[in-house]
Structure 1
Amino acid sequence: MKDSILQQILTTSSQLNKKIVFPEAGRDPRVLHAVSHLTSTGAAVPVLISEAGSVEALADAENIELPDDIRIINADDKQGLKERTVFFEKKLSHKNPTKDQILLLAKNPLMIAGWLVATGQADGAVAGSIASTADVIRASIRTIGTSEGAKLVSSTFLMELTDGRVLTYADCGVVPYPDSEQLADIAISSGETHRKLTGQDPKIAFLSFSTKGSADHERVDLVREALFLAKKKKNEWAMDGELQFDSAFVPDVARRKSPDSEVAGQANVYIFPNLDAGNIAYKITERVGGATAIGPILQGLAKPYMDLSRGCSKEDIFYAACIASVLSDS
């Protein structure tokens, strides 16, 4: 029997020995339990950020025994604070921040995590069990920045269907109403995410309520323009649009509606025209279709910084770290 996508990601992560930083380790017991599981399985090498001994105190309270050699960064450490101050002064010089503003950034655990990743001291970061998505994205952009060619941060969900197939849905969590250029950017980032995590070549469907001219509307025009822009950047990839979901997913429908398409009926990456559609679709696929939803997975960053739901479990945090590990290796 084929392993689930999460088991495949865990197996790959365990071979990589990547350093993943946790800025909320001193404030959320779920994070420390996930960290304990990471160390016991060897799935990743955790790096923890502590504020005034918070990690050690929480570990004692939760009866969690951390390895003696685990790296714990003190947010108030004078030498580290000096290094981070210099980093943020250079990084944000174009905004002319005050010394007090720089100091606040240099002491912020989310920013410290991003600094560690940006400077190569860690390979990825995982946060959001306490912090909001907006704060996590803000920290990631100010420290790590976007990847080459990407202009925005977006998100995907891996959807593992009951028959074992794995699809990528985007954007389901970040960009509400992308314009055509942003939609093209989301598609390319999503294709890269799908390739890195599943090992499959992306076959990208730009979704709409129209299939190949069956309707005319400005929203359909936006999807067509997005496909055009994406193909200019990644002409070697299989992408098509505009396609209705059934045309993209069901081979028999694809043969009738779009017989000449190299994507229709076999798409594995689904690009929704807006956040309404993407968010609704992944929840229907999960709740009605019985799929396993894995995410959100932030993408478009130069290095991985994973965002968690504030209702996440310790298992969610564990696997987010494994995903960050795999993404950092590609």
Structure 2
Amino acid sequence: MKKSILQTILKRSIDLRRKIVFPEAGRDPRVLHAVMDLYKANVVQPVLVSLDQNIEKLADTEDIDLPESIPVIHTEDEDEQKRRISFFEEKLSHKNPSQQEILRLAKDPLMTAGWLVATGKAEGAVAGSIASTADVIRASLRTIGTAEGAKLVSSTFLMEFRNDDVVTYADCGVVPYPDAEQLADIAVTSGQTHKILTGEDPKIAFLSFSTKGSASHERVELVKNALQIAQDRKKDWQMDGELQFDSAFVPEVGKRKAPDSKVAGNANVYIFPNLDAGNIAYKITERVGGATAIGPILQGLAKPYMDLSRGCSQDDIFYAAAICSVLSNA
């Protein structure tokens, strides 16, 4: 029987046992309980960030016996704080921040988590059950920064269908109206994410309301330009556009509408022209199509910093950590 993508990712994460930071474990019981599940199952090595002893207080409230082998970084610890102050002074020197701003960043749990990852004390971070996506991205950019060759942070969803087939949708959560350069960057990083998590070579479809010139519009031209830019960056990858979704997804339609395309009807990475389309599509695929939506998965960072939905479950946090672990091994 074919394994689900989450089962596969979980096994890989157990083999890796990466150090993953949880900056919200002191404020959200869901996170702290997920951390205990991860620890007991040996999925990752959790590292917790505590502000004003909130980890210990919440553990006591939730009747959790926190093992001594789980490291807890206290943001008020002066020695560690001095190291972070030096880090932010150097990292943000071009912006000439005030000492008050530097101290604020050094005390911030999200920033502390990013600092741990950026300095190699951990391999990844998971946050967003309380913090907004904007706050998580801001913390990741100010500490970890973008990956070599990536120009922006975007996001993907792995969509697992009932037959266990898996495709990638992007961008469904970060960049509202990408220009051609940004759309090309989203496509390339999404292809890389798909390859890391599924092991499959990406077959990328640039989606539109037009297939191969069936409609003429400036939005269609943007997608065509994005495809050309992406092809120039990854000459050996399979990608095509512009394609309507049915042309990219359904083999019979792909053969009829784009007979010369190697991607049409066979795509596994779907690049939506804007956030409206991507966000609506993944939710329809999940709610109507019965697929499991795994994400959002932030991409384009030098090291992984996962962004949770604020409505996430304990299981969502558990699997986000496993995904973070696997991405850290890229």
TM range, normalised to the smaller chain?
Answer: over 0.9
* Superposed counterparts of 1:47-86, under 5 Å: 47-86=47-86
The one-letter amino acid paired with 2:245 is F
Task: Give how far 1:237 is off.
Answer: 0.6
1:111 and 2:111 equivalent?
Answer: yes
Residue in structure 2 matched with residue 183 of structure 1 by the alignment: 183
Is 1:328 the equivalent of 2:312? no
Distance of 1:234 and 1:203 partners within structure 2 = 12
1:87-118 C-alpha deviation (Å, 9 max, x unpaired): 00000000000000000000000000000000
Distance 1:65 1:258 in 2: 60
| Aligned residue runs from structure 1 range 20-169, under 5 A | 20-169=20-169
Note the alpha carbon deviations across 1:143-188, whole angstroms, 9 max, x for none: 0000001110000000001111101000000000000000000000
2 CA distance for matches of 1:184 and 1:5?
26
Give how far 1:3 is off.
1.5
Residue identity opposite 2:50 in structure 1: S
For residue 271 of structure 1, what is the aligned residue in structure 2?
271
Unmatched tracts of structure 1, length 5 or more: none
The one-letter amino acid of 1:281's match is: A
Query: 1:61: Cα distance to partner?
Result: 1.0
1:262 Cα shift?
1.0
1:80 CA drift (Å): 0.4
The whole-number CA distance in structure 2 between the counterparts of 1:169 and 1:278 is 7
Q: Secondary structure at the match of 1:177?
A: coil
How many Å separate the matches in 1 of 2:248 and 2:294? 21
1: CA distance, partners of 2:261 / 2:214: 15
Please tell me the residue identity of whatever aligns with 2:250: V
Q: What CA distance in whole angstroms lies between the structure 1 residues aligned with 2:262 and 2:236?
A: 12
| Alignment pair present for 1:310 and 2:310 | yes
User: How far apart, CA to CA, are the structure 1 residues paired with 2:311 and 2:8?
Assistant: 24
Q: CA deviation at 1:307?
A: 0.3
Matched, 1:284 2:284: yes
Deviations 1:19-63 (A, max 9, x none): 000000111000000000011000000000011211111111111
Instruction: Report the Cα distance in structure 2 between the residues aligned to 1:248 and 1:325, rounded to whole angstroms.
Output: 31
Write the letter of the residue equivalent to 1:212: K
- Indicate yes or no: 2:242 matched with 1:242: yes
CA distance in 2, matches of 1:68, 1:115: 22
Higher mean alpha-carbon deviation, 140-149 vs 50-59, is at: 50-59
Normalised by the length of structure 1, the TM-score is 0.99
The aligned amino acid for 2:22 is F
- 4+ residue segments displaced more than 3 Å: none
User: 2:169 and 2:292 mapped to 1: Cα distance?
Assistant: 12
Whole-Å Cα distance in 2 between the matches of residues 319 and 312 of structure 1?
Answer: 11
Structure 1 residue 260 corresponds to structure 2 residue 260: yes
SS at match of 1:15: helix
Structure 2 residue 228 is the aligned partner of structure 1 residue 228: yes
Work out the CA distance in 2 between the residues paired with 1:40 and 1:229: 46
**Helix, strand or coil for the counterpart of 1:66?**
coil
TM-superposed deviation, 1:65: 1.8
Separation (CA, whole Å) in 1 of partners of 2:97 and 2:317: 33
Query: Which region of structure 1 is more displaced relative to structure 2, 179-188 or 67-76?
Result: 67-76
CA distance in 2, matches of 1:276, 1:54: 38
CA–CA separation in structure 2 for the residues paired with 1:64 and 1:238? 50
Query: Structure 2 counterpart of 1:310, which letter?
Result: R
TM-score between the two structures when normalised by the length of structure 2:
0.99
Q: Supply the AA of the counterpart residue of 2:150.
A: A
Amino acid corresponding to residue 233 of structure 2 in structure 1: K
